[in-house]
């Protein structure tokens, strides 16, 4: 028996890469899975990987697991409800939503078009909202009916969202918003038995192939950037073993796992009265000199 035996999860963007690795690992751990994938490319091109969700379902069934395919657009409001309904109709319940779907449009900020900005924000931020919102409504109804709830939301942020990435202003903004959304979900939904956590993977995917990332596997060495390295944490967070773990952002790279500390306050400079504008340069530079070192923006020189 795996650690997710009896659980039911939705995994979005599960036709390739990380999402596929998550869905397969969840199935190996005994979870029944709604495999969502729209079948688009890394920039949202329609039809590039059509049938991907169905192929992953076939792989899960070949392993002896249970899964159904869903090909909805995660950023469509009604699609989130259909995914939740697919879990309930096919498996009788829903225990977890793994929000993974997304794409990237690499652009320097001064060349990013409104259409590119909106497309990236939509698939990541709205996409995380729609499915989780319908799931939360279902879990709340279960709680109000007196049924015990032990449910999970696992969101996908990124190092780009936690510290920024040159050439990815829209993507970084969306992923930063997802990290904050996770904190709010954890605070609001804990009272009804739902935990919310986010992961920031370091893995080789179709999206990383569009940028200047050296993530090739080295002969004879541990494949640090294999998507499968990220999957065990997702399975753990979906499982009942992770009960009480909430409001956290996990970063992973190969066999390394750590928590993001988030924004923290430096020691204050207190005057006891309103500052004058001319005084602030010295105060600000004192704060900068004594603050904890920060991780640099990806790609910054």
Please report the pLDDT score of residue 215 as a whole number. Answer: 56
- On whether the CB atoms of residues 72 and 62 are closer than 8 A, the answer is no
- Beta carbons within 8 Å of 56's beta carbon, 6+ residues apart: 14, 15, 20, 23, 24, 35, 37, 67, 69
Q: Which long-range CB contacts under 8 A does 148-151 form with residues at least 24 apart? A: 148/193, 149/192, 149/193, 149/194, 150/95, 150/193, 150/240, 150/243, 151/94, 151/95, 151/96, 151/193, 151/194, 151/195
Confidence band of 296 (pLDDT split at 50, 70, 90): confident
User: What's the pLDDT tens digit per position in 73-111?
Assistant: 999 999 999 999 999 999 999 999 999 999 888 889 889
Kindly report the average pLDDT of the chain as a whole number: 91
Mark whether 158 is an active-site residue: yes
Could you say which DSSP state residue 82 is in? Answer: H
Please report the pLDDT score of residue 123 as a whole number. Answer: 96
- Beta carbons within 8 Å of 301's beta carbon, 6+ residues apart: none
- On whether the CB atoms of residues 160 and 147 are closer than 8 A, the answer is no
CA pair distance 120, 42, nearest whole angstrom: 11
- Beta carbons within 8 Å of 216's beta carbon, 6+ residues apart: 204
CA pair distance 191, 239, nearest whole angstrom: 19
Say if residue 117's pLDDT is above 80.
Answer: yes
In this structure, whether the domain defined by 8-259 belongs to CATH 3.30.565.10 is answered with no
CA pair distance 209, 191, nearest whole angstrom: 41
Span 151-173, average pLDDT? 89
What are the φ and ψ backbone dihedral angles of 221, each rounded to 5 degrees? -110, 160
User: What's the pLDDT tens digit per position in 200-254?
Assistant: 998 776 555 555 555 565 566 778 889 899 999 999 999 999 999 999 999 998 8
Say if residue 129's pLDDT is above 60.
Answer: yes
Per-residue b/e over 5-22, b at no fewer than 16 CB within 10 Å? eebbbbbbbbbbbbbbbb
Please report the pLDDT score of residue 44 as a whole number. Answer: 44
* Active-site pick, 22, 132, 169, 175: 175
CA pair distance 174, 287, nearest whole angstrom: 29
Mark whether 20 is an active-site residue: no
pTM of this prediction? 0.90
Report which of residues 38 and 43 the model is more confident about: 38
Say if residue 48's pLDDT is above 60.
Answer: no
User: What's the pLDDT tens digit per position in 252-279?
Assistant: 988 999 999 888 888 999 999 999 999 9
Span 169-176, average pLDDT? 92
Q: At 273, list the tokens.
A: 């009265």
For the chain, helix, strand, coil in percent to 5 are 45, 15, 40
* Active-site pick, 158, 169, 242, 260: 158
The region of weakest confidence among 51-60, 79-88, 157-166, 218-227 is 218-227
CA pair distance 242, 193, nearest whole angstrom: 12
* Active-site pick, 20, 165, 169, 171: 171
């Amino acid at each position: 028996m795996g650690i997710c035996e009896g659980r039911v999860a939705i995994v979005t963007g599960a036709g390739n890469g990380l999402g596929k690795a998550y869905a397969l690992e969840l199935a190996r751990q005994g979870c029944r899975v709604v495999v969502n994938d729209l079948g688009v490319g890394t920039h949202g091109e329609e039809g590039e990987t059509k049938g991907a969700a169905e192929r992953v379902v076939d792989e899960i069934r070949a392993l002896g697991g249970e899964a159904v395919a869903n090909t909805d657009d995660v950023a469509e409001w009604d699609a989130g409800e259909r995914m939740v309904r697919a879990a309930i109709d096919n498996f009788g319940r829903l225990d977890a939503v793994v929000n993974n779907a997304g794409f990237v449009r690499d652009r320097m900020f001064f060349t990013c078009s409104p259409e590119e900005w909106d497309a990236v924000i939509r698939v990541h931020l709205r996409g995380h909202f729609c499915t989780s919102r319908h799931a939360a409504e279902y879990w709340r109804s279960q709680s109000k009916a007196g049924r015990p709830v032990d449910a999970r939301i696992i969101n996908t942020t990124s190092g780009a969202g936690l510290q920024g990435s040159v050439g990815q202003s829209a993507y970084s903004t969306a992923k930063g918003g997802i990290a904050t959304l996770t904190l709010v979900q954890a605070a609001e939904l804990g009272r009804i038995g739902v935990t919310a956590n986010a992961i920031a993977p370091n893995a080789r995917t179709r999206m990383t192939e569009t940028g200047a990332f050296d993530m090739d596997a080295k002969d004879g060495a541990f494949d640090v950037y294999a998507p499968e390295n990220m999957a065990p944490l997702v399975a753990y967070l979906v499982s009942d073993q992770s009960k009480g773990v909430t409001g956290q952002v996990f970063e992973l790279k190969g066999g390394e796992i750590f928590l993001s500390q988030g924004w923290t306050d430096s020691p204050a400079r207190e005057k006891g009265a309103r500052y004058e504008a001319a005084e602030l340069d010295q105060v600000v530079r004192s704060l900068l000199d004594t603050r904890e070192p920060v991780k640099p923006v990806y790609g910054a020189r």
